[in-house]
């Protein structure tokens, strides 16, 4: 029963991650690239580049999310895969930047242009992710040291 419950949880969270890391960004970018009638032209974007890297890292994040969320609570494997997932998340976020999606220049016809830089916002996220990495490393150490105690408590439940 525990295995089935774990896997259902894993698939559920994988679905959520697929939606939020792949589907929604792809739909958003596709709409922005293809929408007509707006007095805005994309100048710098490379749609293929952005969609490729979002899909690639989104797949990795979703795969690691399945492994993480299908693992038992406070298990060492959950800790390790949570740590890897955070690191992959950093790459995913950064893919917005090096794909060009973090520095968007809008050209408004007959008016001028303006640039929207999300690089600073991503840098702040990176700082938060650093703290998250530290926490995940602590979790792995904690789960390893208290392995027997955690296992006993889990068996009692």
Partner 1 sequence: MDFLEVLAEIVGSILIFLKPLVVPIGQWMVDWITTTTQFFKENLGASLTFYIVICAILVVSGIVINILWPGDRPGSIFSKGVEKIEEYEDKIGVSEDEDIVDEIKRCKDCGNPVGDSEICPLCGARQI
Residues engaged in binding partner 1 (CB under 8 A):
1-3, 6-7, 10, 14, 52, 55-57, 59-60, 62-64, 66-67, 70-73, 75, 77, 90-91, 94-95, 98, 123, 126-127, 129-130, 154-155, 157
- Given CA atoms 4, 10, 13, 15 in this order, what sign does their dihedral have? negative
Query: What's the min distance (Å) between Cβ of 12 and partner 1?
Result: 13
Which of 23, 38 has the CB closer to partner 1?
Answer: 23
Query: What's the min distance (Å) between Cβ of 66 and partner 1?
Result: 5
Q: Is 114 exposed, middle or buried (0-12, 13-18, 19+ CB in 10 A)?
A: exposed
Query: What's the min distance (Å) between Cβ of 105 and partner 1?
Result: 22
Q: In what order do the strands lie in the sheet with 40-42?
A: 40-42, 103-108, 112-117
Which of 6, 106 has the CB closer to partner 1?
Answer: 6
Which of 38, 119 has the CB closer to partner 1?
Answer: 119
Q: Is 146 helix (H, G, I), strand (E, B) or coil?
A: coil
77: left (phi over 0), alpha (psi -120 to 50) or beta: alpha
Which of 72, 118 has the CB closer to partner 1?
Answer: 72
Alpha carbon separation from 129 to 53, 101, 113, 115, 116 (Å, rounded): 20, 20, 33, 26, 23
Query: What's the min distance (Å) between Cβ of 116 and partner 1?
Result: 20
């Amino acid at each position: 029963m525990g295995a089935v419950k774990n896997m259902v949880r894993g698939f559920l969270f994988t679905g959520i991650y697929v939606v939020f890391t792949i589907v929604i960004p792809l739909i958003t970018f596709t709409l922005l690239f293809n929408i007509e009638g707006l007095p805005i032209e994309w100048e710098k974007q490379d749609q293929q580049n952005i969609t490729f890297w979002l899909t690639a890292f989104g797949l990795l994040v979703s795969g690691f999310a399945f492994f993480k969320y299908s693992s038992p609570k406070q298990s060492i494997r959950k800790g390790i895969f949570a740590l890897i997932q955070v690191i992959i998340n950093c790459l995913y976020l950064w893919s917005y930047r090096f794909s060009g999606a973090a520095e968007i220049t809008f050209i408004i016809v007959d008016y001028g242009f303006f640039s929207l830089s999300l690089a600073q916002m991503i840098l702040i996220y990176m700082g938060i992710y650093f703290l998250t990495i530290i926490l995940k490393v602590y979790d792995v150490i904690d789960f390893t040291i208290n392995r027997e105690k955690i296992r006993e408590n889990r068996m009692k439940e």
